[in-house]
Amino acid sequence: MKGTISFAEIMSLANFLKRYEGGFIEKNYQSDVGVSFKFRKSGIDSIYLHFVDNKYLFLSQENEIDGKKNLIPMENAPIAKVRQLGTDRVLMVDGPQSLVIELMGGGNVYILQDGLIAYSKKPGKRGGKILRVGDRYESPQYIDLSSPQFDFKGAIDTSTSDPIRTLAVRLGLSKYAEEIDCSLEHSFKSNSDVMENIEKVKEIVYKIFTSAEEGKLYTYEDEFYVWKSKCRTEEPEVLTLEDGLKKMYEIGESEGNSKLEAMKRNVEKMTAEMDKLRATGEFIMNHFSEMDHLLKKGKKVDSEKYQVDYDRETISFLQDGMNIELKMNRTAGENADDYFGMSKRIKDKLSRVKLEPEKVQKRAELKKVKRVFTNYRWFISGDGNFVIAGKDAESNDSVVKKYLGEKDLYFHADIHGAPSVVMKVSKEPSEKGIEEAASFAWCMSKAWNSKFGNGSVFYVTKSQVSKTPESGEYLARGAWIIRGKKNYITHLNLELAVGFQKYENRDYIVAAPISSISGKKVIIVPGEGKEDVVKEISEFLEVEKESVYPALPPGTWAVRERVSS
């Protein structure tokens, strides 16, 4: 599986991440396989950018790196600009602290502070010079096809390579070099043909730029492109940039496992060869006098037992299952040393081979459930209305600004430290549905951790919710002014069910009022548990723990009951 990330996919990725300009790189994770950075901006869902095995770049709603948090010195770093370095394979996120991800030269990650290297995954190399922490960052030499100053003709005219390689290397087009050739019906027989068609080449390059901005990937069995391939005859699967990059990573990772198996088989062969060579050397030493006499006789040996190769000047014979070959121009001791030396060279090679340890088979495969509305908590009420709540001051602001429409209802618990909750009214809400939304608002407040029962929640319409305080009043971030009559729901208990609900035909894990979740579920109440409770829920619902954590109310929990159906 090639799945190579070229300049065009980097261009598409940079264009996607531009939406986070004005936001933050909130945190990072690092492990042996790679790094991930969480991009966050008010009003849009957060996203994780992953750089794995120094060659895969992909996006996901959830963190895919099981590593340590914030080892890299970049936390809550403002994002001023996201860009690509020219049209090369370098992604840059500029700000007071800058993130640089280079895919060439074996891949690297830098964090810059005022242009100086504050962190690098490994020392960088620039024309024989080593870049280390504390040095000023020097960008690699790069190609910028989008620059009006780029000399297309000059880059091609000085090349002595074939036309496809010239386009791939001199213009940095990599896999799109063949795409351009196919677009022009394979008209490139020499670089002169490229020169004659240079304006058409430019035109196609700019079409690639335009396709990259669309945020789609056309995926084939062994490669992907930002447009429908001009060389392929089969129909591609068209995916979003997020899904396409993730798919290519997963396929590449799967192939990596296959390569690992092949490497293991190769190690077994090398080990067997190493043992055979050592055993041959030991046989010669154990029969030193006999071997020495045989070599002295040279070509006058018994032709039935020994085979003489006059061109190679060797004597061969079969002994105890070993095919032993002696060089006639060497002594018995020197022949033995040769075999021991070959055995040692294989041993040295094996010492440099690193194989991942076998993973322990889990008792049961746990399903990873995707998340949606990652900055919020949500559920669907029994009457079919979508209910969504903020998680913190920032999302309490955004949930109202983004989701509260004219027909919708706003809920808030009568306690300090409660989220803003919005019911999106697509169907006439029933009394039961309103009670469920109120119960959700109460359970997702600080009442849960404080174990305050018998709660009270009010709800109002959009026209009663304002961000404008009275003169002389101060309005904290995440807070809203409520004017007019409030409708109260009282005597609310602290209990929720954790289970599956469908949103847009896909199952998600939610924590919601018991009556709103049908089928298999776990009933939770305030308690003292955390990791053990999440483990119990995940195993009962057969999902990964990472799918459960984000749905739960703030605080600690206890399992009251498990319901099978």
**Ranges under pLDDT 70 in the chain:** 1-3, 253-265, 299, 352-368, 370, 470-474
User: Which H or E run includes 437?
Assistant: helix 431-443
Q: Hey, what long-range contacts does 38-44 have (CB within 8 A, 24 or more apart)?
A: 38/63, 39/79, 41/79, 42/394, 42/397, 42/398, 43/398, 43/401, 43/402, 44/19, 44/20
The β-bridge relationship of strands 521-529 and 496-503 is: antiparallel
Residues 414-445 have pLDDT tens digits of 998 899 999 999 999 999 999 999 999 999 99
* Reported CATH class of domain 7-131: mainly beta
Helix (H, G, I), strand (E, B) or coil at 528: strand
Residue 356 is predicted with a pLDDT of: 52
Range list of β-strands (E), 95-149? 97-102, 108-113, 116-120, 124-126, 129-131
Q: DSSP string spanning 12-64?
A: HHHHHHGGGTTSEEEEEEE-SSEEEEEEEETTEEEEEEEEETTTEEEEESS--
CA distance linking residue 336 with residue 338, whole number of Å = 5
The residue ranges of every structural domain in the chain are 7-131, 152-235, 262-352, 376-563
CA distance linking residue 192 with residue 194, whole number of Å = 5
Q: Which two tokens stand for residue 259?
A: 């390569």
User: C-alpha 346: how far from its chain's center?
Assistant: 36
Residue 1 is predicted with a pLDDT of: 41
Angle between helices 332-352 and 241-286 (to 10 degrees): 160
CA atoms within 13 A on the CB side of 46: 19
Residue 119 is predicted with a pLDDT of: 93
On whether the CB atoms of residues 514 and 495 are closer than 8 A, the answer is yes
pTM value is 0.52
User: Which H or E run includes 161?
Assistant: none
Q: DSSP string spanning 308-338?
A: EETTTTEEEEEETTEEEEEETTS-HHHHHHH
* Cβ-based neighbour number of residue 215 at 10 Å: 15
CA distance linking residue 537 with residue 447, whole number of Å = 22
CA distance linking residue 98 with residue 263, whole number of Å = 38
If you search the block for the tokens 């068209």, which residue do you land on?
Answer: 238
Tell me the CA distances in angstroms from 207 to 103, 188, 234, 339, 460, one per residue in order: 23, 19, 21, 61, 51
Tell me the CA distances in angstroms from 94 to 82, 83, 120, 431, 449, one per residue in order: 6, 8, 16, 51, 40
CA distance linking residue 301 with residue 143, whole number of Å = 68
Q: DSSP string spanning 185-246?
A: TS--SSHHHHHHTHHHHHHHHHHHHHHHTTTEEEE-SS-EESS--SS--SPPEEEEHHHHHH
C-alpha dihedral over 547, 548, 553, 559, to 10 degrees?
170
